[in-house]
Amino acid sequence: MTRETLTIIDNRTGKTYEAPIEHGAIRATDLRKIRISEDDFGLMSYDPAFMNTASCRSTITYIDGDKGILRYRGYPIEQLAKRSTYLGTAYLLLHGELPTATELNDWTWQITHHTWIHENMKKFMDGFHHDAHPMGMLISSVAAFSTFYPEAKDGNRETRHLQIVRLIAKMPTLAAFAYRHSRGLPYAYADNDLTYTGNFLNMLFKTTEVKYKPDPILEKALEVLFILHADHEQNCSTNAVRSVGSSQVDPYCAVAAGTAALYGPLHGGANEEVLKMLQVIGSKDRIPEFIKQVKEGKGRLMGFGHRVYKNYDPRAKIIKQMADEVFSVTRPNPLLPIALELERIALQDEYFVSRRLYPNVDFYSGLIYQALNFPMEMFPVLFAIPRTSGWLAQWQEMRLDPEQKIARPRQVYLGPSERDYVPIGRRDAGAQRP
């Protein structure tokens, strides 16, 4: 019978160690017993960007990056995008099963009836400069929620559930308020007759009409985009939520940390960068020159490449298919033909082929968001809204994991060894440097 263990020989000492393998992983703490001497701290693994380190065990999202597979709780993303709603998907992520009709009605009712935010939040929003980036406003205002709901620190089941409902319900309101503030428009309140995405469009774009009627194609497009962005296992922002949340801070602060991580151009900010890149390229005939510059190391092809997907990102495939439907009711986006040609050329180019760089979710999402009339600064905000359900599912799983302690990585120290303090008058380079 094969043993599910790993045998390690330490060539420094000649000693042999055996580490159990469980679910395809060894425990990094098992390396600690590998020591040269008694006062040695033990062997560590060095992995600054978590390239091959599992930070948790999870039952939420499965990705096979080589095959381009993404599943939430076992359900393929293609089926969810076609047949589920965003709130049904959020329920699945959080509860582990698809809701029954009664469960979905109840869940939708709860979310719908928590969309309003405290009136003081408007004063908070008003404090931002007119040109403040909405993502900065979102990060700060979601963190500010922790001051409105101090009970959120309690970890009991009911309190946890209430904060989850509040966060999923109120993120679109904060996002819409941030948008309207930057436009100098009066804030618009939620309409409980509308769907989650329909109401979001209402809070963003309602002007003088008595009842805002969202375009059903755009409402549906946003629904699909929200499903596609709901979770993506241990990505940068989710890792931030888990790491900060492991200190047992309230979920508003943990989600603020995730939102901050998402703001970065290598993560949720990438679709904004894609549009800027397409604008700089300007026309199809300038694509070869642009590709040449990327290959020379002068910038990246934004919206291409992924830490996990070494194949076409399945989310990008769905968004690309959806583009035609959206553009049938909006103005066609003149950047689309440039994007399609850029993809075609890159996918034939040895540089991208050999590095297995394919379009990721951000390559086409920005084009659709732009067609839906969103300014570029809103793109990462549109990512943060649906990702909130994924963050919270992961946060909840982390809080209920009996093995989870405060996240606290180790380090490989390469600094000076102990040395004596040098008084300021004697600090010439020779006195200080070894």
Q: Where along the sequence are the contacts to ligand ACO (CB under 6 A)?
A: 266-267, 270, 294, 300-307, 355, 357, 360-362
CB of 267 to ligand ACO, least distance (A): 4
CB of 51 to ligand ACO, least distance (A): 8
Strands of the 75-76 sheet, one edge to the other: 61-64, 69-72, 75-76
Segment (H or E) for 140? helix 134-148
* Burial class of residue 38 (count of CB atoms within 10 Å of its CB; 0-12, 13-18, 19+): exposed
For residues 7 and 18, the answer to whether their CB atoms sit within 8 Å is yes
CB of 350 to ligand ACO, least distance (A): 12
* 306 catalytically annotated: yes
CB of 229 to ligand ACO, least distance (A): 8
Pairing of strands 75-76, 15-20: unpaired
* 362 catalytically annotated: yes
For residues 353 and 296, the answer to whether their CB atoms sit within 8 Å is no
CB of 410 to ligand ACO, least distance (A): 22
DSSP-derived letter for residue 266 is T
* Burial class of residue 171 (count of CB atoms within 10 Å of its CB; 0-12, 13-18, 19+): buried
Given phi > 0 = left and psi -120 to 50 = alpha, else beta, which region is 165? alpha
In the complex with ligand ACO, the residue whose CB is nearer, 140 or 238, is 238
CB of 70 to ligand ACO, least distance (A): 12
Of the candidates 118, 267, 349, 401, the residue annotated as catalytic is: 267
Q: Please list the residues that pair with 17 across neighbouring strands.
A: 8
In the complex with ligand ACO, the residue whose CB is nearer, 361 or 384, is 361
In the complex with ligand ACO, the residue whose CB is nearer, 32 or 300, is 300
In the complex with ligand ACO, the residue whose CB is nearer, 196 or 383, is 383
In the complex with ligand ACO, the residue whose CB is nearer, 188 or 260, is 260
Of the candidates 362, 401, 420, 428, the residue annotated as catalytic is: 362
Burial of 269-308, coded b for 16+ CB within 10 Å and e otherwise, reads bbbbbbbebbeebeeeeebeebbeebeeeeeebbbbbbeb
In the complex with ligand ACO, the residue whose CB is nearer, 263 or 304, is 304
* 229 catalytically annotated: no
CB of 335 to ligand ACO, least distance (A): 16
Cα dihedral 408→387→207→128 (10° resolution): 10
* Burial class of residue 395 (count of CB atoms within 10 Å of its CB; 0-12, 13-18, 19+): buried
Residue number with the shortest CB distance to ligand ACO?
Answer: 305
In the complex with ligand ACO, the residue whose CB is nearer, 186 or 288, is 288
Of the candidates 181, 229, 306, 313, the residue annotated as catalytic is: 306
- For residue 164, the one-letter residue type is I
Kindly list the catalytic residues.
267, 306, 362
